Amino acid sequence: MMSGLSRIQIYVLWRTLTAILVALLVISAVELLVDFVSVSRDVGARVDITPGEVLKLTLMKAPSVLLILQPFVFLFGTLAAFVGLNRRSELIAMRAAGISAWRFIFPAAAAAFVCGIVASTALNPVAASLSARYEQTRADLMKDYLAKAPKEVWLRQGSDSRQTVIHAKSRTEGANVVLHGVSVFFYTVDKLGVPQFERRVEAKEARLGSGGLVLTDVSSARPGGFSERSERLILPSAVRDPTGLLHTSSAEEVSFWDLPAAIRRAEDAGLTSTNYQLQLQQLLATPLLYSAMAVLAAAFSLRLIRLGGLAGLAGAGVALGFTFFFFNEVCGALGRSGIIPTFAAAWTPPVIALLSGLTLLCYTEDG
């Protein structure tokens, strides 16, 4: 990329990368301090551990949190770099020499895009691995504090005309997964798509067999009070990998490269894969998000220093960056709940942020 850039573009890129590095160091220091206090209150207040162990847990937890805060690194870093260039009248000299703002903003946006690719493909796997180790180490330290309880499971399966909802508590017995306290709700779906309750089945336990879930000690109830009991009932099930009922990780603990396999495992276990799908889409959109933050920050710092109001405009850029960050979080929550598609939840915030920055840039540069 350097070979195709002019000296001025390389200079602007160098100043931008330096400011981004400074912003990264500052945000990392603050985040480490906050995490150290958080881990001390969470783990240190419940079990007897040394400050060194708290620091170790903090270093495991910090990378995943820092990746979430990375958009602010590019927002603050790019804003500081361009405001500094503006205050030293270097931007004025560039524009007086006939250099368009598009030319010296492009390297910063391109560098942010490349950093986004590196963050998704290289840094995310490291952060995901450390996050998984943090959760495992935390669980090991607190195993005597936390009560051991079976994992609660909700499954839904069926077709357009029939739906089955299964609620149970799962645990391992040797190499097998056993469901205890099983409740099965059967619904029929009418022509309007409204589910109508048909019957409820309670079972002491269930195991996965060749024909599906084998329920034992079964009682069944229908509307109107009619009930019956049986020793055994086979329920056809979409669960093909029962270990997925117990060994599911949060999306933040799965690396970018393992997310497609995690999605398949969740679906094979009859579980929802929405969180994994959203995480994959957000990681794919990360380069665009970083680039959008860089463009947005640069666009808010181009006002000529002699016209005044640069500080207010830069503050507005920071406020707008925070707005887009929280908008991204809201879209993520809507995507996880299934209200909006995961693709829209992941890509809408960075696209809107980029379009906002380009619009302001067009207005500032081209009138």
User: Looking at the structure, do residues 131 and 170 belong to the same domain, yes or no?
Assistant: no
Query: Per the domain annotation, does 252 fall within a domain?
Result: no
User: Looking at the structure, do residues 305 and 233 belong to the same domain, yes or no?
Assistant: no
Residue 206, beta-bridge partner list:
179, 215
User: Looking at the structure, do residues 130 and 279 belong to the same domain, yes or no?
Assistant: yes
User: Looking at the structure, do residues 136 and 8 belong to the same domain, yes or no?
Assistant: yes
Residue 57 near residue 39, CB atoms below 8 Å: yes
Q: What is the DSSP letter of 148?
A: P
pLDDT at 223: 78
Mean pLDDT (the chain) is: 80
Instruction: Tell me how far apart the alpha carbons of residues 314 and 321 are, in angstroms, rounded to a whole number.
Output: 11
Sign, CA dihedral 12-29-119-288, equals negative
Q: Domain limits at 332?
A: 2-142+272-366
pLDDT at 143: 67
Pick the last residue of a domain from 227, 245, 263. Answer: 245
Q: What's the pTM value of the predicted model, to 2 decimals?
A: 0.74
Q: What is the mean pLDDT of residues 13-41?
A: 91
Instruction: Tell me how far apart the alpha carbons of residues 150 and 25 are, in angstroms, rounded to a whole number.
Output: 42
pLDDT tens, residue by residue, 91-125: 778 777 777 777 878 888 999 999 999 999 999 99
User: Looking at the structure, do residues 121 and 41 belong to the same domain, yes or no?
Assistant: yes
Q: How confident is the model at residue 22 (pLDDT cuts 50, 70, 90)?
A: very high
Name the more confident of 364 and 180. Answer: 180
Range with lowest mean pLDDT among 136-145, 324-333, 340-349: 136-145
Instruction: Tell me how far apart the alpha carbons of residues 13 and 81 are, in angstroms, rounded to a whole number.
Output: 9
Range with lowest mean pLDDT among 14-23, 139-148, 351-360: 139-148
Q: How confident is the model at residue 348 (pLDDT cuts 50, 70, 90)?
A: very high
pLDDT tens, residue by residue, 199-234: 888 888 888 776 677 888 888 888 776 678 888 888
Is it the case that residue 287 has pLDDT exceeding 50? yes
Q: How confident is the model at residue 346 (pLDDT cuts 50, 70, 90)?
A: very high
Query: Per the domain annotation, does 260 fall within a domain?
Result: no
pLDDT at 246: 46
Query: Per the domain annotation, does 253 fall within a domain?
Result: no
Query: Per the domain annotation, does 202 fall within a domain?
Result: yes
User: Looking at the structure, do residues 297 and 190 belong to the same domain, yes or no?
Assistant: no
pLDDT at 242: 52
Query: Per the domain annotation, does 250 fall within a domain?
Result: no
pLDDT at 168: 79
As for how many domains the chain has, the answer is 2
Residue 275 near residue 335, CB atoms below 8 Å: no
User: Looking at the structure, do residues 183 and 283 belong to the same domain, yes or no?
Assistant: no
Instruction: Tell me how far apart the alpha carbons of residues 241 and 238 are, in angstroms, rounded to a whole number.
Output: 9
Q: What is the mean pLDDT of residues 40-67?
A: 84
Is it the case that residue 366 has pLDDT exceeding 70? no
